Amino acid sequence: MIKKIFLIFLVFLLIANIFIFMVNIQLGEEIKMYDKKISLLRQENLDLETKIYQLTSYEKIASLAAQLNFVKNESPVYLEEIKYAYKK
């Protein structure tokens, strides 16, 4: 009787071990997939940061200003007295 119970217990442990092994294999595959996604997202993030730095660089802004015929105002106008903001 004890041998049968022990044998059933061993079979149960064997089945549980196989099940846990299969779950671990599946989790390993998911981890690989997520690692790949993380790597792709990091690369995309680096590309986007580079694009931001290129678009906000002074050289890019200066070239856009030149294309739009903007000129640097040597003597800016300051509003010291409000003459046109309200009606007298």
As a whole number of angstroms, the longest Cα–Cα distance in the chain is: 111
Model pTM score: 0.57
Range of the domain at 31: 2-65
The answer as to whether 20 is a domain residue is yes
Does residue 63 have a pLDDT over 90?
Answer: no
Query: For 28-60, how does the pLDDT look when each residue is reduced to its tens digit (9 = 90+)?
Result: 999 999 999 999 999 999 999 999 998 888 888
Please report whether residue 18 resides in a domain: yes
- Please give the tally of structural domains in the chain: 1
The answer to whether residue 30 sits within a structural domain is yes
Give residue 26's identity as a one-letter amino acid code. Q
Residue 56 per-residue DSSP state? T
CA atoms within 13 A of residue 58's CA, in its CB half-sphere: 0
